[in-house]
Structure 1
Amino acid sequence: MAYDYDIVVIGGGPAGYAAAIRAAQLKKRVLCVERDKLGGICLNWGCIPTKALLTNAHLVDLIKNHGKTFGYSGEASWDFSQMIARSRGVASKLNKGIEGLFRKYKVASKLGTAKVIAPNTVQVGDEKITAESIVVSTGVRPRPLPGAEFDGKTILSYKEAMSLPKQPKSMLIIGAGPIGLEFGYFYNAIGTKVTVVELLDRILPGEDEEVSQGLRESLTKRGLTIHTSSKTGKVEKTANGVKVEVETPKGKEVIEAETMLVSIGVLGNVENLFADSLKVELFKNHIKVDPKNGYQTNVKGIYAVGDIIGPPWLAHVAHHEAICCIERLCGHADHTVDYTNIPGCTYTDPGVASVGLTEKAAREAGHEVRVGRFPFFASGRAVASDETEGFVKLVFDAKYGELLGAHLLGSQATELIAELVMAKKLEATQEEIIQAMHPHPTYSEAVMEAAAQGLGESVHI
């Protein structure tokens, strides 16, 4: 049978556009269908524009809290609308970059909502398009708080939170994961009164306990109010915003705020995606796939990658799943995704980054553990920049010296973690990290020093 395309990719986010481009590089005829903008949530409403806002927050924080240290004695003023406009401009620029890459690699694209109506057929509007293989990468959307649906004005998802027409005087954030804390850091830095409510017993509950505690202390010192082990109750809209009942360890409390950002998870975009006759297997609003079979679903010829197949919901994971899927489709088997070696980042300041096992998880897995720590207040480079909060914590297997996990809190944490991802991938030992010469003066020396401290060999602490 002659197909219109070799591969149709549904969704143009980090998984979708990567899949389409890689397939075109491998000489496949590719169509990418996107219902909104190329780049998906990550590029247009998530990873990229939020980092533009966080850069603004860091600049404000630097001048406000460190200005005198550096000899700055003026008064700074900030334009909220310009911050938002710059963020949107960054997203727009990169969106056009994806369009340019599609032209370069001859990837066809179509704007519309796609539905898979047969194993080799996709319908977009009134048009039916055939392909030998279909790759689904439709992503996820924010999960609403029961009884408090998003309205885009008072009760917000991250999408509205990064494009508000004016700065709110106060904001209540439900959920202390990376998204909630990043927005909390941004708005607090520019003067909004921020309160964070988390159901579990600590912020960033997936991170190492020392890191979670260290970040909480830092954010609290900066002015955020944080309630952990706290449950959100009745939500009432008022003339001035919202009034929310919260059960805290100290008792019931009523919190009022101009806006409420809900960041409690995501739902997969699977509605009306497949014809009922296809019987594609789903789980919890996500698509079930077999990674060992190139991320194929239970229906031959239909694949799925990225956030739509479930956690971890990370753009870099989505990218690698897409590359792996396409290369398997095209007869290659070199690219694999190691789910034990995935870096996680939270772009607050100080930032958080990690890979591998926490100290607690390593002990629970039966490892005899050796831990190395190095604080940034002992780093010459960090002292020179007045960015001394945080530390590098490395978890090793005591018997073999294998790096089991790395946990960083600090201004450069999200940039430093890649070295440790590489070290873990290459099975570097504690001694090899120590012996790898790190340039001076750099933040990266803290990695070498943490490994050395674990053996009592650090010369700087």
Structure 2
Amino acid sequence: MIGGGSAGYAAARTARDAGADVAIVDQGPLGGLCILRGCMPTKTILRSAEIMALMKRAREFGLNPVTAQADLSAIVDRKNRLVQEFADYRIAALRDPRFTLYESRAEFLSPHELRAGDGRIRGGAFVIATGSSAAEVAIPGLDEAGYLTSDEMLDVRRQPASLLVLGGGLVAVEFAQFFARIGTKVTMLQRGTTLLSDMDGDIGHALAAAFRDEGIEVMTGVSFQRVSSGSSEKIVHFIQGGAVHTRSAEVIFQALGRRPNLNGLNLKAAGVCVVDGRLVVGGDMRTSQPHIFAVGDVNDLTPIVHLAIEQGETAGFNATHPNEPARVIDHRLDAEVVFTEPQVAVAGMSERQCREKAIPYLTASYPFADHGKAMCLGAVHGFVKLLCRPDDGALLGAQIVGPEAGELIHELIAVMYFHGTAQDLLRIPHYHPTLAEIVTYPAESIVEQMGRA
């Protein structure tokens, strides 16, 4: 295993349990992206901003107002304590004597041999799980002006007065709301037509509306021209709607994507095909070399941790069972959660995917602004949307923008797992008043549409 993050460790554990002799090569720091620089640290700091935002709304709930002021250094300290705890657990697992751990770089010498530090390792199968890094973006003047990526943003201890966020994906929106909620003036510049532009447009529009209500300036459909530096701020020059605009801030956060970590692996010696900077894999996680697999961010398929783990387990099984039918990834239940407020959660197919694949569907949505429990909570941004097959009502996909979306989506994933229908959602008891019962309203609309068809 080359890499001991979530995907690599899952592959190593699966191969070990199948009786294989497993070596893990990881140049460190040990722990993986999710623990060190991804899921866990970001969700930790977002919790601080969520509490602060609620404190600022005290009067809305009939409470005496309080003065909430963020201590960014203390937030970073709390994040570091938790991350170290998570990392210690993973490091102990990697150093389990049932593995052989090489804390060094890995470089292929041939399809069946690689260099790890001063030693050489021969293997019958290899799993590449080296993760990803923030992509470098060619905007004239950006490097000279200076910017921070998500790695550096997690360690910022002096709160910037203003922040320009370049990008509108998952990482961009989570950091943008965090800094806005602790008092930084935030402007988002997104190249796509909406935030989260890889999802259906109504999701991005709903999230942008919530952001604007919190004072975040969101500008979409921009084309970056150049970056310059003023006396105290950095200036981004861009085109939007045919006109030239500028926005300036103390700090630029570059969140325009990530790239697979392939440097130094010498994949040419391994005979592995690389296309446009990423490893091409099949559903069985094999690269162009049948005994070499690639899992997690390095294959640039789905940068989602639970899917990376599934990929690792699939690769670990296939590597150790070459004479059995290969396991393949089933993407029918793919899911993603964005931990903004409102949260965004999607599962299964989107409207865009249905249209692209000419799959017939019925859809219905229902707003949280008209849902009793959400109104009680004061969390009225967003909606629930269902996509179902017209003939039998089978659930094809689900999208939630709203309170606790990351938790609510799991009921819909469970229904999809069992090939359930809109009719099933109506039959399943839903306690009142709960957020969960909102899914019954679009389900009812879809059943009505089926009756009229």
**What's the TM-score once normalised by structure 1's chain length?**
0.90
- Of 144-153 and 371-380, more deviation after overlay is shown by 144-153
Change (3 A) 1:446 1:171: same
Match of 1:205 in 2: 197
Counterpart check, 1:296 vs 2:271? no
1:105 to partner: Cα distance:
7.5
Structure 2 equivalent of residue 310 of structure 1: 300
Mean alpha-carbon deviation: is it higher for 33-42 or for 183-192? 33-42
Bigger drift between 172-181 and 323-332 goes to 323-332
- Give the Cα–Cα distance (whole angstroms) in 2 for the partners of residues 235 and 102 of structure 1: 43
Q: What's the CA shift for 1:67?
A: 5.0
Q: Distance in 2 between matches of 1:406 and 1:148?
A: 40
> Aligned partners of 2:7 and 2:429: how far apart in 1?
36
8 A Cα contact 1:153 1:259, kept in partner: no
* Corresponding residue for residue 418 of structure 1: 410
Q: Which residue of structure 1 aligns with residue 90 of structure 2?
A: 98
What is the aligned-residue identity percentage? 26
Deviation at 1:131, TM superposition (A): 2.2
Alignment of 1:168-187 (within 5 A): 168-187=160-179
Alpha-carbon distance change, 71 to 333 in structure 1, aligned in 2, over 3 angstroms: farther
> How many Å apart are 1:150 and its aligned residue?
7.7
Distance in 1 separating the partners of 2:115 and 2:195:
43
The alpha carbon displacement at 1:103 in A equals 5.0
Distance 1:411 1:250 in 2: 37
Q: Which residue of 2 aligns with 1:195?
A: 187
Partner of residue 144 from structure 1, selected from 131, 136, 149: 136
User: Is 1:43 the counterpart of 2:35 in the alignment?
Assistant: yes
1:24-423 to structure 2, matched below 5 A, reads: 24-66=16-58, 68-102=60-94, 106-147=98-139, 154-249=146-241, 251-274=243-266, 276-291=268-283, 294-331=284-321, 336-363=328-355, 365-423=357-415
Amino acid in structure 2 at the alignment position of 1:31: A
Cα distance, 1:287 vs structure 2: 1.2
Asked if 1:431 corresponds to 2:395, the answer is: no
Determine the C-alpha separation between the residues in 2 that align with 1:441 and 1:334.
46
Contact 2:55/2:66, CA 8 A, preserved across alignment: no
- Give the superposition deviation at 1:360: 4.5
Q: Residue 152 of structure 1 contacts residue 160 of structure 1 at CA under 8 Å; is this kept in 2?
A: no
* Alpha-carbon offset, residue 333 of structure 1: 5.5
Question: Secondary structure in 1 aligned to 2:426?
Answer: helix
Q: Deviations over 1:242-277 (max 9, x none)?
A: 111111226211211111111112221112202643
The residue type equivalent to 1:200 in the other structure is G
For residue 4 of structure 1, what is the aligned residue in structure 2? none
2-side partners of 1:89 and 1:186: how far apart?
19
CA shift in 2, pair 1:230/1:18, >3 Å? same
Structure 1 residue ranges (4+ consecutive) displaced by more than 6 angstroms after TM superposition: 149-153
Q: Secondary structure at the match of 1:400?
A: coil
SS at match of 1:156: coil
Write the distance in 2 (CA, Å) between the matches of 1:254 and 1:152. Answer: 17
Supply the distance in 2 between the matched residues of 1:285 and 1:380 (Cα, whole angstroms).
49
Higher alpha-carbon deviation: 160-169 or 445-454: 445-454
Of 164-173 and 107-116, the range deviating more from structure 2: 107-116
For 1:35 and 1:75, the matched residues in 2 are separated by 45
For the residue of structure 1 that corresponds to 2:86, the secondary structure is helix
CA deviation profile, 1:329-375 (whole Å, cap 9, x unmatched): 23265854222321122111001111223235434544443223232
Distance 1:363 1:135, change over 3 A: closer
Confirm or deny: 8 A CA contact 1:32 1:108 kept in the other structure: yes
Structure 2 CA distance for partners of 1:303 and 1:93, relative to 1, 3 Å: same
Deviations 1:373-418 (A, max 9, x none): 2322344432332222221111112222121221110121112222
Does structure 2 conserve the Cα–Cα contact (< 8 Å) formed by 1:351 and 1:410?
yes
Q: In 2, Cα distance between the equivalents of 1:149 and 1:26?
A: 52
Structure 2's unaligned 5+ residue stretches are none
- Tell whether 2:445 aligns with 1:453: yes
Task: Tell me the amino acid that sits aligned with residue 68 of structure 2.
Answer: A
Contact 2:285 2:328 in 1 (8 A): no
- Count how many residue pairs are aligned between Structure 1 and Structure 2: 447
